[in-house]
Amino acid sequence: MARGDGPGRDQPYTERETVEPPDWFVEQANVSDPTVYDRFEREWPDCWRDAAELLDWETPFETVFRGTDGPPFEWFPGGRLNAAYNCIDRHLPERKNQLALVWEGHLGESRTYTYLELYREVNAFAAALRERGVGPDDVVTLYLPMVPELPVAMLACARLGVQHNVVFAGFSADALATRMERAESAYLITCDGYYRRGSAVAQKNKADNARIAVDHDVSVVVLDRLGRDVHLGDDYDDYHDLLAAHKGAEIEPAPRAADDPLFRIYTSGTTGQPKAVTHTTGGYLAHVAWTARSVLDIKPEDTYWCSADIGWITGHSYIVYGPLALGTTTVLYNGTADHPEKDRLWELIEKYAVDVFYTAPTAVRAFMKWGKQYPQQHDLSSLRLLGTVGEPMDARAWEWYREHIGGGECPVVDTWWQTETGAILVSTLPGVDEMKPGAAGTPLPGIEASVVDRSGTAVEANTAGELVVTRPWPGMPHALLDGTDWGSVPDSAEEWRYYPEDSVSADEDGYITFLGRIDDAINVAGRRFSTKELESTVSGVDGVAEAAVVGANDERTGTAVYTFASPEDGYGESELRDAIEEAVVDAIGGIARPKEIVFTPDLPKTRSGKVMRRLLTAVANDEDLGDTSALRNPEILGEIQSTTSRE
Ligand code: WTA
């Protein structure tokens, strides 16, 4: 088979070529003993002691897991620890002058923090937060782009034992306000603005608008990134003034119970409203550290780079907590892959001699489209392992990534997990398992999952079904520990189930291929949005009588947002188009901007008046419509199709 010409996702999985991890990799891998699967199975749940032992506990846990009779589940009960202590302090005796953070920003601007420097800044900022009145039950919202002050602020919160609530910097003022309101968060850390593609992007005005929209008082800290003289009003503090005022302060890390919350993060759920996911201190940190070690093969002496944004869960787990818990050097990049040139990432990998690189399939598809000449301009030989996360990785992109970025040698891990799972649950172990391009892998040791049909019965190999996780895992969030939200209500741990809402199939070897979401969430360039939330935004626009939003296949972003709207009489299409785009950007942010807005006098409806979104998805994908006999207004489909046929 020619390189770059690998089998696509539509080929039977059994015919795929498998790829063995190379010996040189296995010999140095953190985990290379194949008996790990059996041992974790035999010793479950005690096997997870391996993960907990990667951490330093202030008070040892009494037992690994409690809850064999069903929820509530407890991981590492009795144990107390502090996440910031684990990510910083404990590394100081051995490597205080090793780099913890390497930051690359606007056009060659860069900054580094050793573990000692990180320790000092986190302490000073924690002291400042405490002086501002931040106390144990508070939630501190962080609305910052990819700057070192973001992990500093996260770790300062962790040190104090208060929850952070990171809101992606590209989200709108409304989206920020909703998340602050729901979290009852009275503290906001933001910046005046930041640079993107060479131009300044304003941030503080969005934060100001959110502050006005929130019902309660909000105290704001502003980081000066643009170097302009921004006037700060009452209740605003300057980040650097606070640091200077608390220079040299030391804050005792607050010991936290294993299941005390470490942070919350909002994600798109099945409803139109963002859903809060709260992760624990002990179970979460143990799970991210264990997977960062066994799946991403991170070593303390590595330079590791995950190109995600800390605003999403990937950045929390695998830019900040996992890598720092292992005492490695983690790279932060505030920029895009194609600015100033399309070789930007490869330039950085060469500059920092990155060992492990973790990115999204969307990015790989873009690299592939731009061509191999960009990576070829750089020495990428420092790379040892490549990873992807966030969306299905097709075999062709997998092969290209391994060949042109990994020099045909690096193992590639396709890691599946979610905001809710906190850490990776499905992947190959690169030092143990053979890889199958186009399939993520089996559930990790200690994780039990299967593929079922709608009635919950296991389906046969190579048949599409729904993924179900059938055992608790350490990184599970609070809502699942209680066993009530999102999971089924069980009588015992045996019967407990978690449905991630992913459609999958598994081959004879149990390798899982992810096919897409089942619920109303859509995955645009690895970022999760709720179609319901988008729909209610579009329906709220003056002049829109009715709207439906679906995801359609897109070569670049995996899925793209398609909006179908029926206008009220008297409204022009171009004015409505602008208003819809503006409403989406205001409500969520530019990242959710619809790719297509299609106007139609009516939406396809069943006799009982339900919009048939399945048909709209088929129209958007230019697919066969299948059975349309349930429609009250079948003639509308022809009209919509003639509007959407673009070529
Ligand atoms: C999808 C991101 C295929 C999946 C960490 C999941 C994937 C959703 C993969 C979670 C993968 C994540 N292959 N699909 N390797 N990883 N997904 O919460 O649909 O932003 O449910 O977490 O992304 O998205 P979230």
Tell me the CA–centroid distance for residue 177 and ligand 1, in Å: 26
Tell me the CA–centroid distance for residue 114 and ligand 1, in Å: 32
Check residues 628 and 308 and name the one with the higher pLDDT: 308
pLDDT over 70 (residue 4): no
- Average pLDDT of the segment spanning 193-217: 93
Q: Which of 344, 335, 347, 332 is nearest to 102 (CA)?
A: 332
Residue 514 is predicted with a pLDDT of: 93
- Average pLDDT of the segment spanning 340-369: 96
pLDDT confidence bin for 484, thresholds 50/70/90: low
Q: Judging by DSSP bridges, how do beta strands 74-75 and 65-66 pair with one another?
A: antiparallel
* pLDDT tens for each residue of 274-285: 889 999 999 999
Residue 168 lies in a domain: no
pLDDT over 90 (residue 12): no
Residue 545 lies in a domain: yes
**How far is residue 327's CA from residue 238's CA, in Å, rounded to a whole number?**
30
Domain that holds residue 574: 520-642
Tell me the CA–centroid distance for residue 502 and ligand 1, in Å: 8
Least confident of 128-132, 262-266, 272-276, 397-401: 272-276
pLDDT over 50 (residue 409): yes
Tell which atom from ligand 1 comes closest to the C-alpha of 317: 5
Tell which atom from ligand 1 comes closest to the C-alpha of 527: 20
Residue 596 lies in a domain: yes
360 lines ligand 1 (CB under 6 A): no
pLDDT over 60 (residue 538): yes
pLDDT confidence bin for 647, thresholds 50/70/90: very low
Residue 376 is predicted with a pLDDT of: 98
pLDDT over 60 (residue 10): no
Q: Which of 644, 578, 31 is nearest to 297 (CA)?
A: 31
Residue 282 is predicted with a pLDDT of: 98
318 lines ligand 1 (CB under 6 A): no
pLDDT confidence bin for 3, thresholds 50/70/90: very low
Tell which atom from ligand 1 comes closest to the C-alpha of 517: 19
Residue 442 lies in a domain: no
Specify the residue with its C-alpha closest to ligand 1, atom 10.
418
Tell me the CA–centroid distance for residue 112 and ligand 1, in Å: 31
Pocket test for ligand 1, best of 171, 523, 529, 559 (most atoms within 8 A of CB): 523
Let me know the angle formed at the C-alpha of 521 by 169 and 141, rounded to the nearest 5 degrees: 30
414 lines ligand 1 (CB under 6 A): yes
- Average pLDDT of the segment spanning 156-166: 98
Specify the residue with its C-alpha closest to ligand 1, atom 19.
517
Neighbours of 572 (CB within 10 A): 11
Residue 50 lies in a domain: no
291 lines ligand 1 (CB under 6 A): no
pLDDT confidence bin for 315, thresholds 50/70/90: very high
pLDDT over 60 (residue 635): yes
Tell me the CA–centroid distance for residue 390 and ligand 1, in Å: 4
pTM of the model: 0.91
Per DSSP, what are the bridge partners of residue 474?
none
Q: Which of 164, 165, 158, 162 is nearest to 85 (CA)?
A: 158
* pLDDT tens for each residue of 90-118: 999 999 999 999 999 977 899 999 999 99
Residue 15 is predicted with a pLDDT of: 56
SS3 content of the chain, % helix, strand, coil (to 5): 30, 25, 45
DSSP label of 284? H
Least confident of 270-284, 337-351, 466-480, 500-514: 270-284
Cβ atoms of 204 and 188 closer than 8 Å:
no
CATH code for the domain in which residue 615 is found: 3.30.300.30
pLDDT over 90 (residue 520): no
Residue 80 lies in a domain: no
551 lines ligand 1 (CB under 6 A): no
Query: Which residues does 23 contact at the CB level (< 8 Å), separation at least 6?
Result: none
Q: How many domains are contained in the chain?
A: 1
Residue 101 is predicted with a pLDDT of: 98
Scored b (16 or more CB within 10 A) or e, 499-513 reads bbbbbbbbbeeebbb
Tell me the CA–centroid distance for residue 391 and ligand 1, in Å: 5
pLDDT confidence bin for 583, thresholds 50/70/90: very high
Pocket test for ligand 1, best of 418, 420, 520 (most atoms within 8 A of CB): 418
Tell which atom from ligand 1 comes closest to the C-alpha of 426: 15
Check residues 226 and 355 and name the one with the higher pLDDT: 355
Specify the residue with its C-alpha closest to ligand 1, atom 15.
416
Residue 592 lies in a domain: yes
pLDDT over 90 (residue 482): no
Least confident of 140-144, 303-307, 359-363, 522-526: 522-526
Tell which atom from ligand 1 comes closest to the C-alpha of 514: 3
268 lines ligand 1 (CB under 6 A): no
What mean pLDDT value characterizes the chain?
92
Residue 437 lies in a domain: no
Residue 16 is predicted with a pLDDT of: 64
Which residue do the tokens 């339900």 mark? 610
pLDDT over 50 (residue 459): yes
Cβ atoms of 305 and 358 closer than 8 Å:
yes
314 lines ligand 1 (CB under 6 A): yes
- Average pLDDT of the segment spanning 64-83: 94
